Amino acid sequence: MTQTLTKYAGYHEAFQALESSAPKSTPPWLHELRRQAWSRFQQLGFPTARRGNEKWKYTNVAPIASAAFSHPAALPSGAQPTAGRVKQLGPSAPGWTNLVFVDGHYSPALSTQPGQAPGIVVDNLSKATVSSPQLVQPHLARQAGFEDDGFIALNTAFLQDGAFIHVADNRTAPAMINLLFVTTEGPTPKVTFPRVLVVAGKGSQVSLVETYVSPAKSRYFINTVTEIVVGDGANVEHCRLLLESPEAFHVGNTRVYQGQDSTFTSAGFFRGAALARNDFQVLLDGTGANCTVNGLYLTTDSQHVDHLIGIDHAKPHGTSRLLYKGILDGKSKAVFGGTVMVRKDAQKTDARQTDKNLLLSPDAEVDSKPSLLIFADDVKCAHGATAGHIDANTVFYMQSRGLDLATASRMLIHAFAREVIDTVQAEPLRDYLDGLFSQAMPASSLRFGGTP
Amino acid sequence: MPLLVIRDLHASIGDQEILKGVDLTVNAGEVHAIMGPNGSGKSTLANVLAGRPEYTVTKGSVQYQGHDLLAMPPEQRAREGIFLAFQYPVELPGVRAWQFLKAAMDAQRQHRGLEEMSARDFNRLLQEKVQQVEIDPELVKRNVNEGFSGGEKKRNEILQLALLEPKLALLDETDSGLDIDALRIVAEGVNRSRRPDNAIVVVTHYQRILNYITPDFVHVLMDGRIVRSGGAELALELESRGYDWVKEAVS
């Protein structure tokens, strides 16, 4: 027996354990996919070298690369969160379809499906690879290529449980699909690899929310990949919510493909995590496709959040609206790298991107770089970025009506956040998010800007 | 006891002294007009009384209902019944007018030991005041002052005055930039809020608004001091003779 020296020994061990313990039903193509991805990850590794690496210019992933994490092989045997507790961890409403994952593993006991609807599949991905490979295989790992991304390669190597949503042509998913990924407290830091695949057929409609949450305060590493295929004329409403532990490392990759005349609306909300990366790429690959990508991030203490958003207009008559807003407190840092690409064929594109930041403390920092790459000549494009403080004159106006400083600031912060929250269509979800951001408290060292 | 007693008040912004010894006494039931040329310190006086943090009081005292006003933070002054109608009302992006006004009302009532108003009662009161000040009812459904015209912003200040019923209202050039109809509506709003137990201080550059609001006293502020005081007739004299006449008379 020869011994191979592996750079990422811990992951290698976990990968071998996963492959050797895989159920017999695991289709050969999935084994092959994992092995290819693992092999690619070994070549790519984590993007720790930042020199000349524009994608990772402002974010150091060395703390992720150098730490050891254990990969939970199954659902935690002991203290699983109860259904009641799970409900409190994220958004919920009567009638929703709920898929709950604990430490990366699907929990049938905590998941609820109020009823089967024809043409709608909402299931654990690993089960779907066996039961409906014809629906899964053509799309899995097709939008999120792992050739040039170590995190996607690693996630794909560990592809196991996850959410699979398939809506047949012209069908409408009757209920909000609520995906909850819970990371529990454990003796050692964990790593999990949640995966989401959404395929919306031609003319179909579906709404989903992904929530990543932990009741723990401890460190863990969560590496997620979400792929969404929006068929011709389909309409997908998407929400992504991060409520991670303050010590967590969260690296999330989202890849969206849009067909002709399709509509994709997404709102991301980010709280928690010591380091959060949100790599979100939308390809408008059909004429007349339309996307709205919004985000709201609230950072405190020494949190670091990095958004890399790309909207790729490949075909004519597309519309995109990108609005990200940040509220930064403490010594936190946010990075916004937004790129709207308009390819040569994408005439009559109408694109707009904006990043606005509210800095509550003198030590908070934002690096915002919205950019446009336009290769077509008949387009309407705009972009902008702002960073400012709560205006002193505004606060005095509110105080002069009897509101104290804390109430006035909270009201202004909440109002700032609401521009994004109000874009969420589903009322129970919007109310939940509103509650989550209405109590955002500024630090005592609140910094003011503006002149009277 | 007078409502407000200002003694030898000096105030600065940065290194620049603007108020250089103001003395003024205001009793409940009175309307005072403070007039003066640009840069005389009229707006500074109103803003210092409301507690604007950019100003530093360097000397003197202000007693309000027998208490040291200068020791109170701005929100406490408001809760104790002081209201400043801003010369340039501030836009509150994303803050709904209804929510803001209700929060202000709740904070003030709580301070006075009164119960929070129910949403229904508050709505009724607000609608009543909206009609009184002839403001477009749609405006209170929007964000505070956001996208309002100049006249709408001033009218919105008068709506807040009517709603909060202060003991001491300070109107900082509320008349400036208003057309004659808006001026009439603003003046009527002010007149309606006149009661025997409150007082109004109108800071203005022009005599025009005093055709609608008859003051009990008129004071001329020049270079940070009140240089002349009189009755309503003083305003008319200023209108016909200009501020230079006072300047010459006092020098």
Tens digits of residue pLDDT in A232-242? 999 999 999 99
Distance (Å) from the C-alpha of residue B240 to the closest C-alpha of chain A? Answer: 33
Q: Which residues of A touch B92 (CB under 8 A)?
A: 394, 397-398, 411-412, 415
Burial of A451 (0-12, 13-18, 19+ CB in 10 A): exposed
If residue B9 lies in a helix (H) or strand (E), which one and from where to where? Answer: strand B4-13
Give percent of chain A with pLDDT exceeding 70. Answer: 96
Contact (CB<8Å) A402/B111: yes
Q: CA nearest B109 in A: which residue?
A: A402
Q: CA nearest B108 in A: which residue?
A: A402
Q: Which residues of B touch A416 (CB under 8 A)?
A: 93-94
Residue type, A355: D
- Please tell me which of the candidates B50, B52, B75 has its beta carbon nearest to residue A404: B75
Contact (CB<8Å) A452/B90: no
Contact (CB<8Å) B94/A403: no
Question: In this predicted model, what pLDDT tens digit does every residue of A45-85 receive, in sequence order?
Answer: 999 987 788 899 999 999 999 999 999 988 877 667 788 88
Residues from B contacting A (CB-CB < 8 Å) are 50-54, 73-75, 77-79, 83-84, 86, 89-95, 99-100, 103-104, 107-108, 111, 143, 160, 164
Burial of A95 (0-12, 13-18, 19+ CB in 10 A): exposed
Helix (H, G, I), strand (E, B) or coil at A162: coil
- Please tell me which of the candidates B90, B91, B104 has its beta carbon nearest to residue A402: B104
- Please tell me which of the candidates A392, A396, A412 has its beta carbon nearest to residue B95: A412
Chains A, B: CB contacts within 8 A come to 78
Contact (CB<8Å) A397/B160: no
The pair of three-digit structure tokens given for residue A220, joined into one six-digit string = 């863990």
Contact (CB<8Å) A397/B92: yes
Q: Which residues have CB under 8 Å from B227's CB, separation 6+?
A: B220, B221, B246, B250
Cβ atoms of A63 and A220 closer than 8 Å: no
- Please tell me which of the candidates A401, A415, A416 has its beta carbon nearest to residue B104: A401
Q: CA nearest B94 in A: which residue?
A: A415
Q: CA nearest A417 in B: which residue?
A: B94
Q: Once rounded to an integer, what is the mean pLDDT over residues A398-404?
A: 97
Distance (Å) from the C-alpha of residue A254 to the closest C-alpha of chain B? Answer: 30
The pair of three-digit structure tokens given for residue A137, joined into one six-digit string = 């295989």
Cβ atoms of A205 and A235 closer than 8 Å: yes
Question: In this predicted model, what pLDDT tens digit does every residue of A161-193 receive, in sequence order?
Answer: 999 999 999 999 999 999 999 999 888 999 999
Alpha-carbon gap, residue B101 to B204, rounded angstroms: 26
Taking only the tens of pLDDT, chain B with its 251 residues reads 899 999 999 999 999 999 999 999 999 999 999 999 989 999 999 999 999 999 999 999 999 999 999 999 999 999 999 999 999 999 999 999 999 999 999 999 999 999 999 999 999 999 999 999 888 999 999 999 999 999 899 999 999 999 999 999 999 999 888 888 888 888 998 898 899 999 999 999 888 899 899 999 999 999 999 999 999 999 988 888 888 888 877 76
Alpha-carbon gap, residue B37 to B204, rounded angstroms: 9
Contact (CB<8Å) A400/B94: no
Count helices and strands in chain A by DSSP H and E runs:
10, 22
pLDDT tops 90 at residue A225 = yes
- Helices B232-241 and B243-250, axial angle in degrees (round to 10): 100
- Please tell me which of the candidates A393, A396, A416 has its beta carbon nearest to residue B94: A416
Contact (CB<8Å) A401/B78: yes
Question: How high is the ipTM of this complex?
Answer: 0.96
Q: Which residues of B touch A414 (CB under 8 A)?
A: 94
Residues from A contacting B (CB-CB < 8 Å) are 391-394, 396-405, 407, 411-412, 414-416, 418-419, 452
If residue A295 lies in a helix (H) or strand (E), which one and from where to where? Answer: strand A290-299
Contact (CB<8Å) A399/B74: yes
Distance (Å) from the C-alpha of residue A322 to the closest C-alpha of chain B? Answer: 19
Alpha-carbon gap, residue A232 to A264, rounded angstroms: 11
Virtual CA dihedral for A284, A285, A288, A290, nearest 10 degrees?
A: -20
Contact (CB<8Å) A400/B108: no
Question: In this predicted model, what pLDDT tens digit does every residue of B103-132 receive, in sequence order?
Answer: 999 999 999 999 999 999 999 999 999 999
Distance (Å) from the C-alpha of residue B94 to the closest C-alpha of chain A? Answer: 5
Q: Return the closest-CA partner of residue A223 out of A49, A41, A87.
A: A41
